[in-house]
Structure 1
Amino acid sequence: MLVVLTIVTSVAALALAAWCGFAAYRDQSTKDWHFIGMAVVTLLALVQLIVGIVQLARGEKAEQGTALFVSYLLGTFFCVPAAGYMSLMERTRWGSATAAGGGVLLAVLELRLYDIWGG
């Protein structure tokens, strides 16, 4: 695992969570700019998914098991898009809160992913 990529993805996810959380605090729904932020964070998660699969293909092993590692990789990739979809369905402040929750969840999943790899 690339530690720098994990840190950058976690920080970007927490920044997205703070941004969407502030929108929820101000009683605003998610806007187009929030979805652009979600796309950037999802792109970082996609890069991490690709890097993780390439490392596994090169013969490197996750400390706590390959199946668990791959499942967490897929979970990190789908976390923010799922929260974004749910925030589209709920066009109130709670949609912003859902997107903020997705960002926090992604940061937690990144920490767990690092731990599974053996960090």
Structure 2
Amino acid sequence: MSQSNTQQNLAAWKTVCSEQDLVSNSGVVVWFEGAQVALFYLPEAQGRSLYAIDNHDPQSGANVIGRGLIGNIKGEMVVASPIYKQHFRLEDGHCLESSQQRLRVWPVRLNSGMVELGLD
């Protein structure tokens, strides 16, 4: 694949908030392209420190994932839904208790003090 084709396949980025809006080791929710997105900022985590995942809990139907508890299960960073306590991996949105449940995830990055989400 040529370099120009690779550049065309890269996601465009859209600013959703500033880094100052994030809460360490917790979630905040932003509105992005018609969806509520929960941002989790884990500044002391090994490797990746920022995640963007759907705020909508598929089991309860409530928009509560951003209020979930962050944890580590078998080396995987997860968020526990505050209603039924199912665990979703922050990396890919998969539910540990039910393989049929999955939350959408977005590419996310910090860029000059701003939080940006990738557009498909």
TM-score normalised by the shorter chain: which range applies?
under 0.3
Q: Which has the higher strand share?
A: 2
Which is bigger in relative contact order (C-alpha 8 A, separation at least 6)? 1
